[in-house]
Amino acid sequence: MTVGDPVLVVIADSLSFHGPDRAEPADEPRLWPHVAADLLGGRAELHAGLGWTARHAWRAMVGDPRIWASLRHADAVVLGVGGMDTLPSPVPTAVRELIPALRPAWLRRAVREAHRRATPGAARVLGRAGPVALPAAETVRYLERLRVAVTTLIPGIPVVGMLPAVHRAPAYGGVHAGRDGHVAAMTAWAAAHDVVLVDPLPHVAAHVLGGHGNPDGMHWGWTGHRALGEAVGRAVGEALTAARPLPDVP
């Protein structure tokens, strides 16, 4: 693989594949991973899931052979997870994730609807004291597992992380009290391990908070994908340059 034709393996959450109207196929060129790769003259391999936290990403890393196959060709890895970890979760995440397994179907539907209706109000009532989908310490622990796994397989490969974005989602009562703690923990982790971090805030905040993204108040329109993708592309390009210094000229 040449320096000018990099492969970006992106492990991310739904912000990587939701557009202004709906979820899109992983190869949709307007999604930010492909915008980033295109800026570098390369291509992106996207592995992502709806609501993925850093823990979900780790489970995928150890259990999905498609990721292993992508990593065989990777020049850089982007960990676009950690943002969903910051969302309010009045019901413990482990309990909430059992809802799809409930039987009979009428009970599952009733519990899912009750959870959907209760979450916005509970998030507002609990405020800053409320639990989040994954505590900051756990997010960092799983991010570090991901970093170690990638750099063990491919020593010296650049790893780029992403701080949590922002939202105005009615589904969560507009509450995002968990972001600050995660930003601090993830920043400290990245500094300790030479991980380049991209902060979506300056690139998508006005877009999302101004109501220009997806009507759900969380996912982005194409303008947001373009802005974030270009920022990620620049960060990856700098990381690749640092990892591949020019040879000494006699």
Q: What is the CATH number of the domain that holds 59?
A: 3.40.50.1110
CA distances from 8 to 76, 151, 210, 212 (A): 5, 14, 30, 28
The residues of the chain scoring below 50 in pLDDT are: 1-3, 246-250
Buried b (16+ CB within 10 A) or exposed e, 42-77: bebbbbbbeebbbbbbbebbeeeeebeebbeebbbb
Residue 203 lies in a domain: yes
Predicted TM-score of the model (pTM): 0.92
Which residue, among 45, 40, 44, 43, has the nearest Cα to 4 in the 3D structure?
A: 40
Q: How many CB atoms lie within 10 A of CB 88?
A: 25
Residue 100 lies in a domain: no
Residue 117 lies in a domain: no
Domain range for 65: 7-87+132-243
With both helix axes pointing from N to C terminus, report the angle between 32-39 and 222-243 in degrees, rounded to the nearest 10.
40
Q: Rounded to whole angstroms, how far apart are CA atoms 45 and 36?
A: 11
